[in-house]
Amino acid sequence: SAVISQKPSRDICQRGTSLTIQCQVDSQVTMMFWYRQQPGQSLTLIATANQGSEATYESGFVIDKFPISRPNLTFSTLTVSNMSPEDSSIYLCSVGGASNQPQHFGDGTRLSIL
């Protein structure tokens, strides 16, 4: 399966600032996704990163707060904007192929907001 690298692996940020998380895949993939995993909880899908078009956001997540880029088939970024302590979480990138296929995940970015 694809090798997925996320940067940074962790960060501590001040409230009100923004952080951009990068996701790099070692092969071209059709679908890329961004998830949030709050402490002790399961994965919540933020958005699907579409190559060549705007990301598709899930209910409760908006582009102004979580802008996403997908410039090509191997790379995507997620920005967490105007951060507050409630944004402290693990942010995960995943990749998938055809419908009804499993996704494969990077190791995530552990984000803490002070």
Partner 1 sequence: EDQVTQSPEALRLQEGESSSLNCSYTVSGLRGLFWYRQDPGKGPEFLFTLYSAGEEKEKERLKATLTKKESFLHITAPKPEDSATYLCAVPRETSGSRLTFGEGTQLTVNP
Positions that interact with partner 1 (CB under 8 A): 1, 4, 31, 33, 41-43, 45, 48, 92, 94, 96, 98-108, 110
Nearer to partner 1, 6 or 74 (CB): 6
Pairing between β-strand 56-57 and β-strand 4-7 as defined by DSSP bridges: unpaired
User: Rounded CA gap, 36 and 46, in Å?
Assistant: 7
User: Rounded CA gap, 27 and 54, in Å?
Assistant: 21
Nearer to partner 1, 65 or 110 (CB): 110
**Nearest distance from C-beta of residue 57 to partner 1, angstroms:** 12
Nearer to partner 1, 18 or 41 (CB): 41
- Tokens of residue 97, six digits: 């192929």
